[in-house]
Structure 1
Amino acid sequence: MSPSQGLKETRHPYTFVSQEGFKELLMVPSAADKALPILPKVAAALKGALVHADGGVFERGLNGLVQLSAVVGPALNTHLKNLLTSLSKRLMDRKYKDGVTSALQKLEQYGGKESLGIIKSKIPTYCSIYS
């Protein structure tokens, strides 16, 4: 792989650089304003990381998803259905269950009331943080 793979990168130091770079880009002033116009592309890139066979790539994608959700909030809801399929599959794996559950709770928290319906439509066993 080349260093242009972003969160899907599997070689050091590119794995570190992609993860830290993603996090830092979301921390700049007015990050939400800058992320919203490119949200479909960012969501597609995150989906690529979330469906990757490498567990480390999946975990970086999951962390990135939560970080993005914290910045753009409910704007991510339109992309959630596409992202939740891979989370649903990893939820069955004991190794990832706690991390995925925590991520789902944060997606619900940052996405507002609408996000719960979207999450439940893809993961019926999910229990709301508000119930």
Structure 2
Amino acid sequence: MVSGRQFRESLHRPLPNAPVQKSCRQVPAFTVQALQRGTCTLPPPTCNPYQEIPYTKKRIFKTSYDRGELPISADANKTSVIWKVNLNKIDYIHYLPVFFEGLVENEEPYVFIAQQGISDLLNNGGHKIFPCIPQLILPMKRALNTRNKEVMMRALKILQHLVKSFDMIGEALVPYYRQLLPPLNLFKEKNVNSGDDIDYSQVKGINLADIINETLEQLELHGGEDAFINIKYLLPTYESCVMN
């Protein structure tokens, strides 16, 4: 008599006269090597759309600050910044894009200096900000494409500040939605499912999905009549805050 366990184990045993199989050489899939004999293709690597993409290229803001080329520095307590020149005399076309390059930074004091510098320039810029808009798009795009939540939240808050800083800036940003908004699709609906518990990130204002929705609402409010349709084209789940 053969037990059921012994019968199942015998199914995995090779036949007595079966040829001995040699171990195959594992090669990447979709390559010329996969067509060779005696090879086994490895499955393609899995894709994680939420994986961070660190910015590894030359950091213009960090280099400029280390060289002392920027007219700004942090005080001894690192709680505020000190401007070495009058803000009314600063060349915005040159310095404002350099400060926006600091949005990709993750180290201090570069994060604090860049964020505070941008805030001061936007508060005092007025009409000087408008000619700089084309040069600000690429730094903001780099920051949003890092998929780092902290970097993205800083960039989105700066974008909100930018559209409120002067008239017509919101409308001037509409043609650049295709460069800025696509990365937001991944995180727009990615809220924390806490059940009956309290999500304290929403209370503290550090929930990325909420900041994305707030930014889109500000873009629609300040972007004119063409803002909503352009946002809806890139983020189909967005609902208008004006029509509703």
Q: How high is the TM-score relative to the length of structure 2?
A: 0.50
Number of aligned residue pairs: give it: 129
Q: Does 1:107 align with 2:219?
A: yes
Q: Which residue of 1 aligns with 2:62?
A: 3
Q: How does 1:75-90 map to 2 (within 5 A)?
A: 75-90=172-187
**Aligned counterpart for 2:148 among listed residues 54, 77, 91:** 54
What secondary structure is seen at the aligned counterpart in 2 of 1:28? helix
Q: Could you tell me how far apart the structure 1 residues matched to 2:171 and 2:116 are?
A: 24
User: Is the Cα contact below 8 Å between 1:46 and 1:64 reproduced in 2?
Assistant: no
Q: Which structure has greater helix proportion?
A: 1
Q: 1:127 to 1:6 in 2, by over 3 A?
A: same
User: Is the Cα contact below 8 Å between 1:49 and 1:57 reproduced in 2?
Assistant: yes
User: 1:120 is matched by which residue type in structure 2?
Assistant: K
User: 1:7 is matched by which residue type in structure 2?
Assistant: L
Q: Which residue of 1 aligns with 2:49?
A: none
Identity %: 30
What secondary structure is seen at the aligned counterpart in 1 of 2:186? helix
Q: 1:120 to 1:27 in 2, by over 3 A?
A: same
Q: Which residue of 2 aligns with 1:17?
A: 113
Q: Could you tell me how far apart the structure 1 residues matched to 2:224 and 2:161 are?
A: 15
Q: Which residue of 1 aligns with 2:25?
A: none
Q: Radius of gyration: which is bigger? A: 2
Q: How high is the TM-score relative to the length of structure 1?
A: 0.89
1:93: Cα distance to partner? 2.4
Q: Which structure has greater strand proportion?
A: 2
1:57: Cα distance to partner? 1.0
Q: 1:19 to 1:124 in 2, by over 3 A?
A: same
User: 1:79 is matched by which residue type in structure 2?
Assistant: Y
1:3: Cα distance to partner? 1.6
1:18: Cα distance to partner? 0.7
What secondary structure is seen at the aligned counterpart in 2 of 1:27? helix
1:78: Cα distance to partner? 1.2
Higher relative contact order (CA 8 A, sep 6+): 1
1:80: Cα distance to partner? 1.4
Q: Could you tell me how far apart the structure 1 residues matched to 2:187 and 2:116 are?
A: 23
Q: Which residue of 2 aligns with 1:41?
A: 135
Q: Could you tell me how far apart the structure 2 residues matched to 1:82 and 1:69 are?
A: 16
Q: Could you tell me how far apart the structure 2 residues matched to 1:85 and 1:53 are?
A: 11
Q: Could you tell me how far apart the structure 2 residues matched to 1:15 and 1:116 are?
A: 32
Q: Could you tell me how far apart the structure 2 residues matched to 1:64 and 1:29 are?
A: 14
Q: Could you tell me how far apart the structure 1 residues matched to 2:212 and 2:125 are?
A: 28
Q: Could you tell me how far apart the structure 1 residues matched to 2:129 and 2:175 are?
A: 14
1:29: Cα distance to partner? 4.4
Q: Could you tell me how far apart the structure 2 residues matched to 1:116 and 1:3 are?
A: 36
1:36: Cα distance to partner? 2.2
Q: What value does the CA root-mean-square deviation take over the aligned residues?
A: 1.6
